[in-house]
Amino acid sequence: MSIYDTLNEQQKQGVFTTEGPVLLLAGAGSGKTRVLTHRIAYLIEEMGINPYQIMAITFTNKAAGEMKERVESLVGFADSAWITTFHSTCVRILRRYIDRIGYDTNFVIYDADDQKSVIKDICKRLNVDTKVLKERTVLSAISSAKDELISPNEYSLSAAGDYHKQKIAALYKEYQQTLKKNNAVDFDDLIMKTVELFKDCPDVLQSYQNRFRYIMVDEYQDTNSAQFELIRLLAGDRHNLCVVGDDDQSIYKFRGANIRNILDFEKYYPEAAVIRLEQNYRSTQNVLDAANAVIRNNIGRKEKSLWTDQGAGERIHFRQFDNAYEEAEFVADDVARKKRNGSYQYKDCAVLYRTNAQARLLEERFIVEGIPYDVVGGVNFYSRKEIKDLLAYLKTIDNGRDDLSVKRIINIPKRGIGAATIAEVQDYADEKGISFYDALKQADEISTIGRSGAKLKPFVDMIKVFRSKLQVYTLTDLIKDIIETTGYVRDLEADSEEEAQTRIENIDELVSKVASYEETHDEPSLSEFLEEVALVADIDGVDEDDDRVLLMTLHSAKGLEFSQVYLTGMEDGLFPSYMSIVADGDAEIEEERRLAYVGITRAKKELTICCAKMRMIRGETQYNAVSRFVKEIPPELLDNRMPKPAYRDDDLLQPSRTKPAAVLTKKRTAAENKPYIASAGTKMGISSFGSLGITKGGNAAGKPDYDAGDRVSHIKYGEGTVLAMEPGPRDYKVTVDFDEAGQKIMYAGFAKLKKL
């Protein structure tokens, strides 16, 4: 039996159509990775193509690693094929040729924190008030410009007559000059500089065009304009380009993704073969019917409809709660119940939400219930202070031109080198046109620093010694030597704070990471290790064998699947967001709807959709209607009837089964769309703080008629004993040990406990 006999007919078309441009429209869970890996195997095994001539690009290390493993399991070898990410591909090219456009090949890659530090310093130098023009705004504008391959000079020309843009143009120009001086690039530069290299050096481009006869791009709907140009250049005149994606899952516009790349593929390549993968192998039909019904309301899409032969499955569970506390409590209780009765392991469950801020209440409830969990997208391991400090040592050893790294560690651990001394050294470096580290080496010639110069020489000598040891040491030996010589861990051991021990454990983990890197690479190098670390994404760090519930934003969930998915906060004003509701045109709402589609299609067996009538957002009590995306799901697919709206909401009528929802949805003005926001105590038909016995000022309006030690009853949990009462700014927090349900923490106004 051939390995290709397991494919369905559309998948086979995707595998066997090897010549010319191919657009694979792969719906969620339709086996696109299977098609890509079998396509690579077919090229190697059946067509005799050398793996060296094949390139497959995706977005995450996790996806690239999985793809490479699958190809090797099919054909036994694929080492010379480039199966990697966009950024890794560009780093590999730039490491070899970036000197052709004015950089050294041992450049460093700046992360978001590094970029912010550079911009902060530039704003100070150029007297830019960061309260008026925030660093984040500047960096976002620079990133957007690079996504569109707009250089500082081009940006400056486009800013004529716009004072705000002119300021950003000046900062952009200075930012790029600083990066080049430091022999550094940021993530956007990796793509932009590779395109620049190809356009400035046709011989380099031709060498890669000759090498890669077959190019495949995964998640094509997430590409930006710069990535499109990179792929277009590599594909050249041969046009053996296969792109795989789903326009219905294009959710990264805020990162620069351009949905037109996939929607207009046939305009760029009129001869393209278009193949639709619509059979889903992940979810039940009820989940797919819900997803199809929601996404059908988008106009800017390529028509497709997912189906499965795995049966209808359970209906979608819909639950509406009075407030966000009850929502979080329900999710935690439901996860705990399903774990107890053996329905699912913790790792089979995921809780998805629109914004990171929603995680707090969920975390609190999971802690109370004793449920192990991980928050994806929290502080990245490599963003922790102690890890960035040690990586800065490694970067300084590898590339002394990186002023940012040298300045970070010059006084860590403390060496008595103050800010005034650092400023004098920087002035000298600027005057001489040299790097900060080179200026340190010439400290004896800087008359203005006086006796402080004596403190700089030991630091320079230490870096020199580390560099010489690198010639004979392993990387593991080097990192251990840095830790020992600098006394970094000794300082932490002398610290009595509990956090110090956690930081030491993180450092131990970094040493393990270095050792693991050396074990898995035939020719390990410091530059390559730093490069690998720089390209790690949040989701790459998730351990699939760890039995924990994952909490994450909908954006982070893309590409993942879980047996049980909880979609929380499904309310108009939160999801879709208020800004997308009031925006001109349909583009913003359609992006939000695609995000809802992604969330729904993460579920394999069960999908639970939750919302709250009342939620505290940015310190204000907000009352929202049920999300329009929930109302776009046919009622027969839900196991709970939709509630009647508490106030007029006739523009969100359930779509007809015979007419597209877009026809029935009436346009609302911004004022009509605005979520109702009330201060505590506002009188409304829905529960408000006033109805909870809480005063308008926000203080507790009187203690309940029970106290610690009293027996009480709850409508859901039955009888129990009050363990503790804690007054809060707006209500009493009550801890109760229920006879059947165990210990719960709740607010008195919401709990409605009755004293027995």
Task: Give catalytic residues, as residue numbers.
Answer: 32-33, 218-219, 249, 602
Q: Give me the count of residues in the chain.
A: 756
Assigned token pair, 750 = 């919401």
SS3 244: strand
Cα separation, 621 vs 478, whole angstroms: 54
Number of CB atoms found within 10 A of residue 516's CB: 11
- Is there a binding annotation on residue 29? yes
Chain centre to alpha carbon of residue 102: 32
- The answer to whether the annotation marks 709 as part of a ligand binding site is no
Is 28 annotated as ligand-binding?
A: yes
Judge whether 133 and 164 are in contact, CB under 8 Å. Answer: yes
Whether residue 173 is annotated as binding a ligand: the answer is no
Question: How many of the other CB atoms lie within 10 Å of CB of 330?
Answer: 18
Asked whether the beta carbons of 126 and 168 are under 8 A apart, the reply is no
**Whole-number Å distance between alpha carbons of 521 and 79:** 12
**Does 33 show up as a binding residue in the annotation?**
yes
Number of Cβ within a 10 Å radius of residue 372? 13
For residue 423, what are its two tokens?
A: 């400023």
Three-state SS letters, 167-216: HHHHHHHHHHHHHHHCCEEEHHHHHHHHHHHHHHCHHHHHHHHHHCCEEE
CA-angle at 709, arms to 706 and 714, nearest 5°: 55
Residue 697 assigned as binding residue = no
For the chain, the distance separating the N- and C-terminal CA atoms, rounded to the nearest angstrom, is 71
Place of tokens 């805020």: 254
* Residue whose pair of structure tokens reads 């095994």 in the numeric block: 45
- Of 42, 66, 70, 69, nearest to 54 (Cα)? 42
Lookup: tokens for 457: 């020489």
26 is in an annotated binding site: yes
Please provide residue 501's backbone torsions phi and psi, each rounded to the nearest 5 degrees.
Answer: -65, -40
Beta bridge partners of 85: 58
Contacts of 477 (CB under 8 A, 6+ apart): 469
Question: Is the four-CA dihedral 384, 389, 395, 401 of positive or negative sign?
Answer: positive
Local structure of residue 666 (DSSP, 8 states): -
- Is 599 flagged in the annotation as binding? no
> CA 219, CA 246: separation in Å to the nearest integer?
7
Annotated binding site: 26-33
Residues of the binding site for ATP: 26-33
